[in-house]
Amino acid sequence: MKVLITDFRHPDPSVERAVLDEVGAEVVVGQCKTSADVIEAAAGCTGLIATYARIDDAVLAARPEIRIVCRYGAGVDSVDLAAAARRGVWVANSPDYGIGEVATHALALALAQVRRVAWLDRDVHAGRFHFSSAGPIRRATSLTLGILGLGRIGKRMALVSREIFGRVIACDPYLIDGDFPHYVERVDLETLFARADLVSLHVPLTDETRGLVGQRLLERMRPGSMLVNTARGAVVDVPALLAALDAGRLQSAALDVLPEEPPPAGAPVLAHPRVLLTPHAAFYSEASVIENRTKAARNIVDWVRTGRPTYVVVEGAPRPAP
Ligand SMILES: NC(=O)c1ccc[n+]([C@@H]2O[C@H](COP(=O)([O-])OP(=O)(O)OC[C@H]3O[C@@H](n4cnc5c(N)ncnc54)[C@H](O)[C@@H]3O)[C@@H](O)[C@H]2O)c1
């Protein structure tokens, strides 16, 4: 069998090759940007492993030989899941490779704002050396952290934050009460934004969450509050966020993810003095990358051996006998 890595940001596919070698799969690598690129590169491929390339219905229709699509990482919004389900194509991901990294990064972005680290750094470099040059700082234990989406990463964020902030509250309508740790208070969406001093987003990008953090919720936030987004850029309505910052509603925001990545030159978000940006780096450590690549490829090995990938997102049709 042949497996296409549709787009790839590592020096070489040696990790994936070593794993897929176990079932004798040939690995080919593309740098596909559009679904047309994927269609061209995927000729004769049974499996795809994708980073950002969109795997839409056109790809699956043009290449019916594709039986399994694996997405590096947790987010599968770049794959048309309904089309895959309709066509009996398995979809898998590697959702748990970087939970610690993302939660640690979200905490770093939270603390960089609470302690004003980024702004104090800018001030010192600009010749201003004073402990309050970046404005008043509130004691972290007096603050309430609000978590939207209490899944794998949200729960870890709650765990690593519980000793730092005075209170941790969270909204996740899809969990039962028993899934909320005892140190996290369950609240609804409106209450989360009204009560938290700092909101950290950990929801997947879905029809329901696209643009969810917009004017309506931002207007509910307390004056001087802060936002962290390590989830997906399109969960936040960025123009509405910049307006809330300019209106003084929010003190600052830290975004690891943006609706368009990288952001186009001249995008207002790049120039806003109270926005802290990182380049979709929350998942990254050397160890997490190896784990992600190994797990993405192992989905296909498991599917070949057992008929099921390790991490099933969409259940596909049974694999035809070899
Ligand atoms: N920045 C990065 O490098 C990076 C890395 C990994 C994951 N992510 C993003 O983080 C997201 C979360 O990852 P995870 O592993 O914790 O996923 P997860 O599926 O374990 O958790 C997501 C949680 O969000 C909840 N949820 C869904 N819709 C909601 C809504 N409308 N309101 C409130 N809660 C809602 C779900 O019930 C679930 O508990 C991923 O979907 C991905 O987009 C980003």
With contact defined as beta carbons under 8 Å apart, do 146 and 195 qualify?
yes
Ligand 1 touching residue 230 (CB < 6 A): yes
pLDDT attached to residue 76: 93
Which atom of ligand 1 approaches the CA of 209 most closely?
31
| pLDDT confidence band for 176 (50 / 70 / 90) | very high
256 Cα nearest atom in ligand 1: 1
**Active-site amino acid positions:** 232, 261, 280
62 CA to middle of ligand 1, Å? 31
Q: Which residues contact 312 (CB under 8 A, 6 or more apart)?
A: 90, 91, 92
Cα separation, 15 vs 33, whole angstroms: 22
Ligand 1 centre from 206 Cα, in Å?
10
131 lines ligand 1 (CB under 6 A): no
Q: Identify the residue whose C-alpha is closest to ligand 1 atom 18.
A: 151
Residue 11 has pLDDT above 90, yes or no: no
Q: Is 129's C-beta closer than 6 angstroms to any atom of ligand 1?
A: no
pLDDT recorded at residue 322: 59
Where, residue-wise, is CATH 3.40.50.720 in the chain?
A: 2-97+286-314, 99-277
Which residue has a Cα nearest atom 9 of ligand 1? 231
Contact 143, 115 (CB under 8 A): no
CA of 154 to the centre of ligand 1 (A): 7
Rounded to the nearest angstrom, the distance between the alpha carbon of 291 and the centre of ligand 1 is: 19
CA dihedral 107, 104, 148, 280 (to 10 degrees): 100
Residue with tokens 């039962």: 176
Residue 282 Cα: closest atom of ligand 1: 3
Q: Model confidence at 132, in pLDDT bands (50, 70, 90)?
A: very high
Which protein residue has the closest C-alpha to ligand 1 atom 41?
204
What confidence category does residue 75 fall into, taking pLDDT thresholds of 50, 70 and 90? confident
Taking the domain 2-97+286-314, which CATH number applies? 3.40.50.720
Nearest CA to ligand 1 atom 10: 231
Determine which residue's CA is closest to atom 8 belonging to ligand 1.
Answer: 231
Does 320 have pLDDT greater than 70? no
Atom of ligand 1 nearest to the CA of 284: 3
20 pLDDT exceeds 70? Answer: yes
Domain at 99-277: CATH code: 3.40.50.720
